[in-house]
Amino acid sequence: MEITKFHEILDFAVEREKEAVQFYAELRKSSNFESHKAMLQEFEDMEKGHILILEKMRHSRASINTERVVRNLKISEYIVPEDNIVPNSYPNILIIAMKREEKSHILYLDLSKRFADQDKELSNLFATLAAEEATHKHKFEKLYESDVLRDN
C-alpha cells in the first residue's frame, strides 16, 4: 500500500479514537456519581490506548496480535434508545456507550475485511481495533445485564 494512503487511513482511525475520548470525557463530566465517572475515565483511557496503538503502527508497522475472540451478548443490538435520552442516568450511559462501541466495532471490522487481500498488516490492525471495541461493548453489556436487567 502506498505510504500516503496508509497514513490517511491511520489519520482517520486516530480521529475516530479522539472522538471517542471526547465522548467519554463529556459523559464523565455530566455524570452525577463518582462510580460512573471512574468507569467512564477507564473507557476514556482505553480509547487513548487505541491512539497509541495506531501511532505505533504508523511509525513501525509492527505486527499486531488479532487472535482474541470476544463474546457478543447482543444486548445493544436489541436496545432502541429513546428519542430524548438523558445521557447522565446510569442505564442511558450504558446504552449510549454500547451503541457507540457497536458502531466502532462494525467500522473497524469492515475496514479489516476491506484490506484483507491488499495489506495483511493493515487488515490485522483494524481487526485488533475491532476486537478492542467489541471488548468495550461486552463490558458495557455485562454492566447493563448485571445492573439494569437484573432489576427488571
Note the residue count of the chain: 152
Query: Is it the case that residue 65 has pLDDT exceeding 60?
Result: no
Number of separate domains in the chain: 1
What is the domain range of residue 138? 3-151
pLDDT at 22: 94
Contact 17, 47 (CB under 8 A): yes
Q: How confident is the model at residue 113 (pLDDT cuts 50, 70, 90)?
A: very high
Residue 139 grid cell: 463490558
CA nearest neighbour of 29 among 40, 20, 18: 40
pLDDT at 95: 85
> Which CATH number belongs to the domain containing residue 89 in this structure?
1.20.1260.10
pLDDT at 5: 74
pLDDT tens-digit series, residues 72-100: 777 777 676 655 666 667 788 888 888 88
pLDDT tens-digit series, residues 120-147: 877 887 888 888 889 888 988 898 888 8
Mean pLDDT of the chain: 81
3-class DSSP state of 68: coil
Phi-psi region of 74 (alpha: psi -120 to 50; beta: other; left: phi over 0): left
Q: What amino acid is encoded at 9 in this protein?
A: I
